[in-house]
Amino acid sequence: MTQQSTEPPAPQAITVHERSRVLEVAFDDGATFRIPFELMRVYSPSAEVQGHGPGQEVLQTGKRDVALLQLEPVGHYALRPTFSDGHDSGLFTWEYLYELGRDQQQLMREYERRLAEAGLERDAPMQRKGAGGGCSAH
């Protein structure tokens, strides 16, 4: 009987392709994914994008041409990208990067569906919800 590993796949190689705006990640299970920067940005695991709970997600627009300015390792488990729009608060774990890569076509269709439902264009500038920002309800 073979014991299944519960460890998520770990990256063996990470390559930033600036011109094509993709992050290429080769994992130790043999899978290699080319994840568009736009997909990473609109599905950032940060509270700024995901909200603080279910139903609080913030639909991102105008991210098609976002660039990756910096990619900082966080311990031995994640990366913190800095995007050209200033966003830098998402921690992309190896497991999350694997999921983004594996599910990217489905996630992109879901993103486009959500945009259509909201009556928004993919390239429209982000709408600010009032001055001051932050998470306060004041």
Q: Give the global pTM.
A: 0.86
Output phi, psi for 3, to 5 deg.
Answer: -85, 130
Which pLDDT band, with edges at 50, 70 and 90, does 4 fall under? low
> Which residue ranges make up each domain of the chain?
37-118
pLDDT, tens only, 89-138: 999 999 999 999 999 999 999 999 999 999 999 999 987 654 334 443 33
Give bridge partners of residue 36 from the DSSP assignment.
22
- The stretch 42-52 carries a mean pLDDT of 90
Q: Where are the beta strands (DSSP E) in the chain?
A: 11-17, 22-27, 32-36, 68-74, 78-83, 92-93
pLDDT, tens only, 13-29: 999 999 999 999 999 99
Dihedral angle sign, alpha carbons of residues 97, 101, 102, 104: positive
Task: Determine the Cα–Cα distance for residues 25 and 33; give it in Å rounded to an integer.
Answer: 5
Task: Determine the Cα–Cα distance for residues 80 and 133; give it in Å rounded to an integer.
Answer: 22
The domain 37-118: what is its CATH number? 3.30.2020.30
Q: Is the pLDDT of residue 73 over 90?
A: yes
